[in-house]
Amino acid sequence: MKSILVTGGAGFIGTNFVYFMASKGYSLRVLDKLTYAGGKDNLEPLMAAGKVDFVVGDICDAGIVKKSLSGIDAVVHFAAESHNTRSETDPGLFYNTNVDGTRVMLEESFTAGVKKFIHISTDEVYGSIVDGYFAENDKKLGDSQATSAYSKSKSQADDLAIEFGRSYPVIVLRPTNNFGPWQYPEKALPRWITNILSGSKIPLWGEGLQVRDWLFAPITSQCIEFLLQKGEAGNAYNVAANHNPEITNRKAAEWICELLGVSSDEWIEFIPDPRPNHDFRYALNVDKISQLGFKPAVDPFNQFRDTVEWYKSNTAWWKKRKEEAESIYKQ
């Protein structure tokens, strides 16, 4: 599995994965449409060093996909529209990219003889859970558990990948809430960090008691390499940090304030939750991947620190993205 096509490799988790795999000496080709969330500048150092072959193209375009698969051993499929708020105003775009695009990728990959295909799904396919943890077989066929246009499209794409996995070497990975370097500042953590760095408060929805499992993106990269080597075809795997105690959004925001040296009482602004019925708690059972041999390094506060330091050191990167990212909250 030395030659890998990474779809969406100029996006957040994809960029982290490409850097990680490049450091291991893999031959990498990136296929990315370069939407607002994809930055070719993310990968320019690797491209200049000849470590990444970059193709600009849409995963819904079978012709471009076919050409991109030439000489490829494995596919890691990140490419997706990924923001819940944006999905509320353009659900058709999410279905087209996340479902139809995944179908094209699966069909063309196995026509081309790809040896392994890893589909990156999400914990949101299970929906919210008050107590306990979702295991892989708790995912029902269809999108009835999902609660947004984004998560519904990802749930349908997940089903497609599982169905292909009955005949082809497909693995589905369902990670929890990723954070880390290169995350577009529309998402909570980079939005909060860059708000404070630019002199604005953290807008915390409701009472900030929503629970998310914060998984460091470099850890997700390690997990994907592990599955390329040891994952069993036709299987879905959860991966999570499983924090103990769990981390509420309020606690995450307070950590950001602490790491940036400001008072949380002064820099956190509680605002009415614009999605009061949105998923409150996500939690995954990781016994399956743990028994296979993967156990992530869980050190949330220091991983938050590393993330904050990255944004402090890459001001030019986020400043040119900040205005567009904030625009979706002003509609």
pLDDT digits (tens, 9 = 90+) for 63-74: 999 999 999 999
Angle among Cα 289, 294, 297 to the nearest 5 degrees reads 125
Q: pLDDT by residue (tens digit) across 224-238?
A: 999 999 999 999 999
Sheet containing 170-175: order of strands: 52-56, 27-32, 3-7, 74-77, 116-120, 170-175, 236-239
Catalytic residue selected from 19, 95, 126, 150: 150
95 is catalytic: no
232 is catalytic: no
Phi, psi of 105 (to 5 degrees): -60, -45
pTM equals 0.95
Q: What is the CATH number of domain 3-176+213-243+281-298?
A: 3.40.50.720
pLDDT at 89: 62
Tokens 């990269």 label which residue? 221
Angle among Cα 319, 321, 323 to the nearest 5 degrees reads 85
Average pLDDT, rounded, for the chain: 95
CATH class of the domain at 185-211+247-279+304-331:
alpha beta
Rg over alpha carbons for the chain, rounded to the nearest Å, is 19
Residues of the chain with CATH 3.40.50.720: 3-176+213-243+281-298
CA distance 235 to 188: 31
* Residue of 285, 253, 231, 304 whose CA lies nearest to 123: 285
pLDDT at 88: 66
CA distance 256 to 262: 9
- Within 8 A by CB and 6+ apart from 116, the residues are 1, 73, 74, 75, 169, 170, 171, 228, 231, 233
Residues of the chain with confidence (pLDDT) below 70: 82-85, 87-91, 331
Catalytic residue selected from 32, 58, 81, 124: 124
Question: Do 217 and 290 contact (CB within 8 A), yes or no?
Answer: no
Question: Do 186 and 325 contact (CB within 8 A), yes or no?
Answer: yes
- β-strand partners of 205: 271
* Residue of 281, 325, 45 whose CA lies nearest to 184: 325
Catalytic residue selected from 32, 81, 108, 123: 123
81 is catalytic: no
Residues of the chain with CATH 3.90.25.10: 185-211+247-279+304-331
